[in-house]
């Protein structure tokens, strides 16, 4: 007999009404075993409560409970933490407000938790490109995310597609750190801490969600800033417990790698646009890594 499960599917949202509605409708269409019950928890990170009407409209046709709340301070970590505080089930799923899920998404994550006795399960986020996306962007895979075989152990992950057992979070001093609330990287920090506490984090490659990439992101400026921010966020997480000697060695290695990239950059033009942009991304990411030791922060979520 299947084990009874109660899941809270949590969504932090900020001024994306069309995409939020599409997501919520995909959540209402989830096909689940009879032993599974779920609620949808939406936390609006807009102080003006701009998502309220969308959530109320969907709630009116829903056969499951839909909870709506507002986190007035713009900080994605605080919004996620508020969602967790509203969760009542023994499991919590997170999905982003610019995504939508396959009908078997949640069941696949639940099955993976059981099959691998995992504490958290991550799944793939498949990119959906806008019309007229330049061919070089698709060829370069600039918006594609890495994937692994189902059952692969992961040291960290993101909140775009994840199911977490509530028991694995027990005893944590805090969940999502507000220090990352405007810069991003709070999910990497959160799951890294879970991993370091001995939690088993695995990948499930058939629990699929999709993300619509807006045309506004199809620019070199956006791609470089995302690479810079990614470098900063990654290093902030992994340098926090590193001693002074190891940090010095790390800085020297990163500086040397950056020098090689800068020297190679003019030659990358010969290899075509994809190689040139990938080289520039690595340069910006490396600068992000090195500036993570300073007080300089690129606050991506403040620039939405």
Q: List Cβ neighbours of 295 (8 Å cut-off, separation of 6 or more).
A: none
One domain for residues 201 and 233: no
Same domain, 271 and 199: no
- Do 182 and 268 sit in the same domain of this protein? no
Of 172, 189, 216, which residue sits at a domain end? Answer: 216
Q: Kindly state the tokens that stand for 119.
A: 């504490």
Domain that residue 267 falls in: 220-302
Could you tell me if 8 and 41 are in contact, meaning their C-beta atoms sit under 8 angstroms apart? yes
pLDDT for the residue 302: 61
Based on the fold, state whether residues 61 and 124 are members of the same structural domain.
yes
How many Å apart are CA 99 and CA 97, to the nearest integer?
6
Same domain, 120 and 267: no
Q: Which of 181, 216, 251 is the last residue of a domain?
A: 216
Domains identified in the chain, total number = 2
Whether the CB-CB separation of 67 and 39 falls below 8 Å is answered with yes
* CATH number where 153 lies: 3.90.550.10
Strands 120-122, 209-212: pairing is: unpaired
Write out residues in the chain with pLDDT < 50, as ranges. 1, 303
Q: 212 with 295, same domain?
A: no
Does one domain contain both 84 and 205? yes
Alpha-carbon gap, residue 213 to 203, rounded angstroms: 23
Shared domain for 265 and 289, answered yes or no, is yes
Same domain, 111 and 148: yes
DSSP 120-182: EEE--EEEEPPTT--HHHHHHTTT------TT-B-S---SSEEEEEGGGGTT-S-SS-GGGTT
| 17 and 71 part of one domain | yes
Task: Give dist(CA 204, CA 136) in Å, integer.
Answer: 29
At 1 the pLDDT is 37
- Calpha distance 149→207 (Å, rounded): 12
Residues 29 and 160 in one domain: yes
| Buried-state track 126-135, b at ≥16 Cβ within 10 A, e below 16 | ebeeeeeeee
End position of a domain, from candidates 176, 192, 216: 216
Model pLDDT for residues 12-51, shown as the tens digit of each residue: 999 999 999 999 999 999 999 999 999 999 999 999 999 9
**Phi and psi for 24 in degrees, rounded to 5?**
-60, -40
Rounded distance between C-alpha atoms, residue 224 and residue 228, angstroms: 6
171 and 268, same domain (yes or no)? no
Quote the CA–CA distance of 284 and 258 in Å, as a whole number. 9
Predicted confidence (pLDDT) per residue in 158-208, tens digit: 999 999 999 999 888 889 999 888 877 889 999 999 999 999 999 999 999
The DSSP string of 4-68 is PEEEEEEEEESS-HHHHHHHHHHHHT----TTEEEEEEEEE--TT-TTHHHHHHHHHH-SS-EEE
In what side-by-side order are the strands of the sheet with 99-101?
99-101, 209-212, 125-128
CA angle 99, 38, 204 (to 5 degrees): 55
């Amino acid at each position: 007999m299947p084990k009874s499960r109660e899941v809270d599917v949590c969504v932090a949202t900020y001024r994306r009404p069309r995409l939020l509605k599409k997501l919520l409708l995909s959540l209402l269409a989830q096909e689940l075993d009879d032993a599974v019950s779920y609620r949808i928890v939406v936390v609006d990170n807009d102080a003006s409560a701009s998502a309220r009407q969308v959530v109320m409209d969907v709630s009116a046709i829903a056969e499951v409970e839909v909870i709506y709340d507002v986190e007035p301070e713009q900080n994605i970590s605080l919004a996620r933490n508020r969602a967790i505080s509203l969760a009542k089930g023994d499991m919590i799923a997170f999905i982003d407000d610019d995504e939508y899920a396959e009908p078997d998404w949640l069941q696949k994550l639940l099955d993976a938790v059981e099959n691998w006795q995992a504490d958290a399960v991550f799944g793939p986020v498949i990119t959906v490109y806008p019309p007229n996306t330049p061919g070089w962007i698709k060829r370069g895979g600039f918006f594609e995310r890495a994937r692994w075989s189902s059952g692969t152990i992961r040291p960290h992950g993101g909140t775009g597609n994840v199911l977490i057992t509530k028991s694995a979070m027990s005893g944590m001093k805090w969940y999502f750190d507000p220090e990352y609330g405007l810069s991003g990287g709070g999910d990497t920090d959160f799951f890294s801490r879970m991993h370091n506490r001995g939690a088993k984090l695995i990948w499930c490659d058939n629990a699929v969600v999709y993300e619509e990439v807006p045309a506004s992101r199809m620019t070199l400026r956006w791609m470089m800033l995302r690479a810079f921010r990614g470098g900063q966020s990654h290093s902030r997480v992994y340098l926090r417990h590193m001693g002074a000697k190891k940090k010095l060695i790390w800085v020297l290695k990163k500086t040397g790698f950056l020098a090689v990239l800068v020297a190679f950059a003019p030659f990358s033009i010969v290899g075509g646009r994809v190689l040139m942009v990938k080289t520039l991304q690595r340069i910006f990411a490396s600068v992000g890594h090195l500036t993570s030791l300073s007080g300089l922060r690129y606050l991506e979520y403040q620039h939405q």
